[in-house]
């Protein structure tokens, strides 16, 4: 249906309800419906799952078609991000939102700021999903409201060409509502707890759930020490729990992202159950750091390996440790088994952004699952500048190039910023996502915590200037003047918060009696130029 067709259909519906509906305006009904096209979180999840599946197929056909997202910790942040994307690029295609469990813990818990250890309320995750989509839907309503006003003006002024253009734009309107990849951490409990939380997250609008193979009650941030993994059967039960949650809600195309922390996790809480030699439990246990038995001690736990009785090394914390150097092998096994048991995408948490390291694991995974694809964390926990300068340094060293003017340990220093080495490193950072998607199977690149850092940086700049010598000029020059000149939509903050939409509704409901806020004396008119 077209906009005009919808108006005609609404007019027939109103006519069919007789005189009691005579004051209802078909144009207003149609506009309100277009401004609220998603009736529920499940509507959103179904819509965005289709988008993400199409994007995954496009990437399989051409690795240049990778997708991206930024982590957002508040609905307003997500809204402004998507408004900016539409402004600068004209489309939201391939651009998602990421919901970081780290930022929920640090910024959205009723306990106050917490570390990334799944101590926050599990309901805060679906609450943030719902909030993000509330703000994205409001961005739709706001933009369409402006388009409707322009359409009315074009018609009133007799500009039929402009009216036709606007009607076509309304018919082909692209929503701000995009996929969210939502972090369910390690499931916040057993498989049943994972299933219950997954349902809440999907009902709030999440089409993609990211789950990790750490122990729920021992969960750590992927970039910190002390991570403890679980045997494969435990993790696969949670993957199945997420799949059942999707299927129960009628979402056959819901997406599961299986994250492995094995590269940096050297500990396990459990010895896996083994049914027969070579099964998944036996493969998991084969990575344990064991020693031959010479004497038995009270409380010893023993396993049989290749017919020999062995003692797994156990810490005072009652955790068992894996052999050093087994992280990549464990990651590869984690990934293959996850894809073979219901996961759609992989996430390998690494300690540095190194394409060759990632690719070496993906190559091995693709020997078994040829279309394996990754979601990759372009993490702020990496010192990108130092990492890439050191990578260039090491390559130059291997090539025999002169490095007398560089100190590898101090390459972060600003004194190197304009050197050939630093400029080459910056170019490698610039093309990292494109290069990694082509070589290392990365379908989706995200930055987990960028808006946490941008909020801190911009607030620091404003506080320094406003409370310092610049005074009010600190805000005007540093914020407002830039907003006006760069076309930042929320410079008209009343409009952004819904004032004009409210005026539209007042007119629909009360007609000429409506007391509207957007009159001649509204100070937002100062920003019309």
Active-site residue identified among 72, 207, 221, 242 = 221
Can you tell me the distance from the alpha carbon of 194 to that of 199, in angstroms, rounded to the nearest whole number? 9
Pairing mode of beta strands 308-312, 303-305: antiparallel
Beta sheet of 267-268, edge-to-edge order? 228-229, 267-268, 320-321
Residue 221 bears catalytic tag: yes
Can you tell me the distance from the alpha carbon of 371 to that of 155, in angstroms, rounded to the nearest whole number? 52
Q: Which two tokens stand for residue 441?
A: 């199977």
3-state DSSP call for residue 420?
Answer: helix
Rounded to 10°, the helix 420-430/432-440 angle is: 60
Neighbours of 456 (CB within 10 A): 10
CB–CB of 283/289 below 8 Å? Answer: no
Pairing mode of beta strands 303-305, 290-292: unpaired
Can you tell me the distance from the alpha carbon of 364 to that of 307, in angstroms, rounded to the nearest whole number? 29
Please, where are the H alpha helices in 344-480?
355-366, 384-399, 420-430, 432-440, 450-466, 472-475
Can you tell me the distance from the alpha carbon of 59 to that of 72, in angstroms, rounded to the nearest whole number? 24
- Catalytic residue list: 221
């Amino acid at each position: 249906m077209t906009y005009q067709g919808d108006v005609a259909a609404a007019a027939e519906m109103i006519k069919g309800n007789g005189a009691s509906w005579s004051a209802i305006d078909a144009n207003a009904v149609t506009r309100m419906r277009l401004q609220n096209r998603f009736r529920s979180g499940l509507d959103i999840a179904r819509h965005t799952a289709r988008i993400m599946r199409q994007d995954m197929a496009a990437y399989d056909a051409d690795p240049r078609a990778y997708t991206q997202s930024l982590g957002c910790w508040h609905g307003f942040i997500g809204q402004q991000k998507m408004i900016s994307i539409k402004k600068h690029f004209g489309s939201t295609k391939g651009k998602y939102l990421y919901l970081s469990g780290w930022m929920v813990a640090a910024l959205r818990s009723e306990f106050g700021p917490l570390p990334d250890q799944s101590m926050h309320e599990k309901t805060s995750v679906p609450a943030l999903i719902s909030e993000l989509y509330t703000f994205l839907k409001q961005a739709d309503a706001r933009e369409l409201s402006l388009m409707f006003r322009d359409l009315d003006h074009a018609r009133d002024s007799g500009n039929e060409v402009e009216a036709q253009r606007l009607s076509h734009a309304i018919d082909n309107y692209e929503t701000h509502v995009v996929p969210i990849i939502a972090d369910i951490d390690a499931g916040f409990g057993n498989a049943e707890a994972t299933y219950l939380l997954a349902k809440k997250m999907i009902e709030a609008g999440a089409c993609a759930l990211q789950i990790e193979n750490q122990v729920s009650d021992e969960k750590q941030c992927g970039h910190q020490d002390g991570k403890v993994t679980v045997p494969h059967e435990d993790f696969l039960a949670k993957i199945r729990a997420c799949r059942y949650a999707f299927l129960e809600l009628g979402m056959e195309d819901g997406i599961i992202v299986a994250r492995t922390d094995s590269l940096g996790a050297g500990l396990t809480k459990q010895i896996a159950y083994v049914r027969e030699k070579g099964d998944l439990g036996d493969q998991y246990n084969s990575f344990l750091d064991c020693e031959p038995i010479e004497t038995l001690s009270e409380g010893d736990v023993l396993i049989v390996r290749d017919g020999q009785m062995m003692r797994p090394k156990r810490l005072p914390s009652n955790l068992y440790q894996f052999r050093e150097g087994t992280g990549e092998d464990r990651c590869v096994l984690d990934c293959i088994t996850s894809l073979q048991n219901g996961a759609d995408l992989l996430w390998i948490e690494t300690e540095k952004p190194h394409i060759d390291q990632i690719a070496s694991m993906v190559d091995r995974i693709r020997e078994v699952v040829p279309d394996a694809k990754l979601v990759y964390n372009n993490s702020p926990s990496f010192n990108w500048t130092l990492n890439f300068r050191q990578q260039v340094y090491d390559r130059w060293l291997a090539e025999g190039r002169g490095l007398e003017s560089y100190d590898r340990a101090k390459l972060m220093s600003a004194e190197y910023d304009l050197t050939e080495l630093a400029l080459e490193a910056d170019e490698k950072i610039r093309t990292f996502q494109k290069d990694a998607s082509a070589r290392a199977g990365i379908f989706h690149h995200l930055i987990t915590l960028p808006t946490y850092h941008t909020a801190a940086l911009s607030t620091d700049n404003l506080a320094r200037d406003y409370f310092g010598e610049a005074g009010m000029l600190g805000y005007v020059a540093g914020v407002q003047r830039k907003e006006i000149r760069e076309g930042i939509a929320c410079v008209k903050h009343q409009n952004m918060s819904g004032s004009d939409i409210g005026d539209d509704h007042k007119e629909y409901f009360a007609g000429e009696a409506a007391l509207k806020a957007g009159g001649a004396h509204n100070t937002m008119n100062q920003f019309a130029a």
